[in-house]
Structure 1
């Protein structure tokens, strides 16, 4: 019978992944950045709202890139880890898929960092970080921690009776 992680290891990982999913949803929907111009004009943006605004305003390429790498990849990676945790077999095809998701999903953090840096560099616009960004970062850190644990997970052989 194939190796499986014992439930003793899997249950905490599953709980952490559900918590990470809650943080991810909050990070996507809560305001992430407040932009202020000339101390008069203010706009608050969530990742989901900003992406939808880009798509509706005809910025299809940029909106699609944000949708794919900053929204879909983190959600898919979290759900994929939940599947692996429930199955208890972090190896083979499942880990190959996780490797691909892992390489591309860090682009979400890069995109947000570029957005913040560019807003702070123009001198006219001031960017204030809000709770959505911190929820998003906590989610990314939790998912990456579980992913790392899966990479080094102890293997326990279950012998057929």
Structure 2
């Protein structure tokens, strides 16, 4: 039962590491001896909060791709571009690097991040015990690539600031940019609310349960009466 004898939690305010006495499973809290803040052994309602943020990001991602990111007004006319139409424009005009960067930041990164978070949530809820190291690396990958999703928002912001000549040319943001910003924020918060320690809790619980079964089976075999004892 070594895996479930005790647990450790870290204070979010000062970083103090606390040891929780057994049994440590469940919603356990303690007061930090250094700063007096409440320390949780595991993030409260981590699975529920992460699911809510992931579902919200999926809902926001649909209008973010359908609605225009920006409106361009010139003396020759007006046009509106969505994320995909902007990528196609850069590729057709020969700006392949810009088009590829925007595609990776605006299409590839948010989609991959959402699917990874869904996979991690399902692996914990369904009790998958295979390859926890790979799942831990996937979680770290979502934290690393999450910040690059803001590239498209930065591009639109810079273009709005630079191209602003009334009567000649002007760029304004569309609703797609707002929804895409909500997608980025919700996925970043989802990665923050997810507690990766839950991945390893399952592995420790499985190992501890296996050791307990071995001990029970060994004690049963040891205490089982022999044929000589049964026949006197």
Aligned to 1:17: 54
1:103 CA displacement: 4.1
CA contact (8 A) 1:32 1:129 kept: yes
Q: Of 103, 121, 124, which residue of structure 2 is paired with 1:85?
A: 121
Q: Of 25, 34, 40, which residue of structure 1 is paired with 2:71?
A: 34
1:154 CA displacement: 8.1
1:57 CA displacement: 3.2
Query: Which structure has more helix as a fraction of its residues?
Result: 1
Q: Does 1:130 align with 2:174?
A: yes
CA contact (8 A) 1:29 1:49 kept: no
CA contact (8 A) 1:26 1:135 kept: yes
Query: Which structure has more strand as a fraction of its residues?
Result: 2
Q: Per-residue displacement from partner, 1:97-146 (whole Å, max 9, x unpaired)? A: 123212433333323322332333x5532222221111111111111111
Q: Of 66, 80, 83, which residue of structure 1 is paired with 2:102?
A: 66
CA contact (8 A) 1:20 1:143 kept: yes
Structure 1 counterpart SS, 2:172: strand
1:35 CA displacement: 1.2
Q: Of 130, 144, 147, which residue of structure 1 is paired with 2:191?
A: 147
Equivalent pairs counted in the alignment come to: 154
Worse-superposed segment, 23-32 or 109-118: 109-118
Distance in 2 between residues matched to 1:12 and 1:99, nearest whole Å: 17
1:155 CA displacement: 4.5
Q: Which runs of 5+ in 2 are unaligned?
A: 5-24, 26-41, 125-131, 210-232
Distance in 2 between residues matched to 1:118 and 1:141, nearest whole Å: 25
Larger radius of gyration: 2
Structure 2 counterpart SS, 1:35: strand
Q: Of 118, 127, 142, which residue of structure 2 is paired with 1:98?
A: 142
CA contact (8 A) 1:10 1:86 kept: no
Cα RMSD after superposing both structures: 3.0
Structure 2 counterpart SS, 1:106: helix
Q: Which runs of 5+ in 1 are unaligned?
A: none
Distance in 2 between residues matched to 1:32 and 1:85, nearest whole Å: 31
CA contact (8 A) 2:46 2:193 kept: no
Tell me: higher relative CO, structure 1 or 2? Use CA pairs within 8 A at least 6 residues apart.
1
Question: TM-score, normalising length from structure 1?
Answer: 0.77
Distance in 1 between residues matched to 2:105 and 2:114, nearest whole Å: 13
